Amino acid sequence: MLEFSKQFGDMISVKMGSQLIVCINDIKTLKKIFSSSEFTARPKSALDCIVQGYGIITADGELWKNQRKFLHKHKFGLKNGGTVSENMESRVSYEVLDCLNALAEDTNTETDKHGIDLSPYLSCSISNVICSIIMSTRFKHNTQRFAKFINFFDEGFRLFTLTGPMIFLPWLRHVPNIRSTIDKLRANREELLDFVGEIVEDHADSLADRKGEEDNGPRDLVDQYLLEIKQRREDGTLEETFGDKDPETQMKQILVDLFSAGFETIKTTLLWTFIHMLRNPDVKSKVVSELESVVGPGRLPTMEDMEKMNYTRATIYESMRRSSAVPMGTTHSNTRPVKVDGQIIPANSHVIPNLYAIHMDHQIWPQPEQFKPERFLNPDTGKVFKPKHFLPFGTGQRMCLGDSLAEMELQLFFASIMHVFDIDQADADPHNLPSLEGHFGATLTPSDFKVKLTPRNLEALVAENLKAKPANYLHMRTYG
């Protein structure tokens, strides 16, 4: 699409089957279109029979507006106990520590014989952040329960990729192989809804048991939804929040949506960032030097530290630019014909934001293929900044809901792992570096790779492990 745009312009259209695809390749047009209420809809396709408009990702219209308003109001459940930022940081920091402990335990053991694959460690800990926030639930590393839970998502992403052509050629749903894939996707979703349904039932029972107690307020997003549903039923105003959707199903789909949105992209971005460290040892050295200068031995980085670590934050931003986890963003649709820059975009078009094109435009980013964190540093002050052409979380009314949480996770996980361990490639051959060519599906994921971890600041782990568990973890349910 980027190459096409050089020949045909920044806004191009392609007819795929019966569907018109409009691809936006420049930031000015993209911001203009996605700030418009006409483009807040989601495309309709033959796959709608699976999710049926539930949740937040595929919902649109009044249901989407009401659910987004509800999530903003309650900050995913983080408003309960302390400030939102303090609550958020305590959740992330606890899971960072758990990830570091798991890595330290497996370093220099049989597990580490041929290097360590960071992916499963990051998967568990990152998923625990969002699970702990929205439903007071977390998993232990290397447990069957967690493996089963993640497998539902991995299989769902894989199956969804297989059905891609059906979006543009609806008749393909009658082909036996495609039809069986749709059936598997539907069954996969039901498994996920059943899984979170068990957690919802536990919450409902707990709320009933705590009725009348002094500390009986909502603990997380599940409690917030249960109380909202109860109040709306009593008032006879369910439709104001849930439209014509079953409220319990909507709540469960929201939980699944938030998990999938808050897990895969963060893990993928971190993996790409560690690949860039292996491929750019000079950058890695500067990050380590900054960590040693600002944080020092004996403790882990905090968000207060991150304010002073401009180069480390710039390194994360450059990774997000160079290896966009979602290079084609999320597809929007328009509810009516709209004229943009003299061109009519017909109603119900699939409008794709080409974030890759914006992040790799050589006119905006000189030598875009090169990894240069300095792009995000003010040359006069050395302070980190975000150029207006940097859109890792999208733009407009449907941009990422959890961008603040995502940035905190990226900064604390990356900085902490870099602070506790020296990270090198597991393969002794310096020419056999992990590839920058990704696998395009729901996200752009790197090929599997392993790293060699050498402990450098284990005293930081010892010190952090001696601290008391955060108060909001006292009633956390842990599987495994």
pLDDT at 215 > cutoff 70: no
What SS3 class is residue 24? strand
pLDDT digits (tens, 9 = 90+) for 382-417: 999 999 999 999 888 888 878 889 999 999 999 999
What SS3 class is residue 423? strand
* Of 68-77, 99-108, 113-122, 296-305, minimum mean pLDDT range: 68-77
pLDDT value at residue 152: 77
Backbone angles phi, psi at 142, to 5 degrees: 60, 45
Residue 394 exposure: Cα atoms within 13 Å on the Cβ side: 22
**Cα(110)–Cα(113) distance, rounded to whole angstroms?**
5
- Measure CA 105 to chain center: 27
Average pLDDT over the chain, rounded to an integer: 87
CA angle 96, 264, 479 (to 5 degrees): 55
Residue whose tokens read 């009986």: 216
pLDDT digits (tens, 9 = 90+) for 299-355: 999 999 999 999 999 999 999 999 999 998 888 999 899 999 888 999 999 999 999
Q: Which residue has the higher pLDDT, 160 or 33?
A: 33
pLDDT at 83 > cutoff 80: no
* 315: amino acid identity, one letter: T
pLDDT digits (tens, 9 = 90+) for 9-36: 889 998 887 789 999 999 999 999 999 8
Query: Which of these CATH numbers, 2.40.50.140, 3.30.830.10, 3.40.50.1220, 1.10.630.10, describes 35-325+360-479?
Result: 1.10.630.10
* Of 235-239, 260-264, 272-276, 373-377, minimum mean pLDDT range: 260-264
- Measure CA 353 to chain center: 17
pLDDT value at residue 82: 61
> What are the angstrom distances between the C-alpha of 398 and each of 33, 244, 358, 442?
12, 22, 18, 17
pLDDT digits (tens, 9 = 90+) for 257-269: 888 887 889 999 9
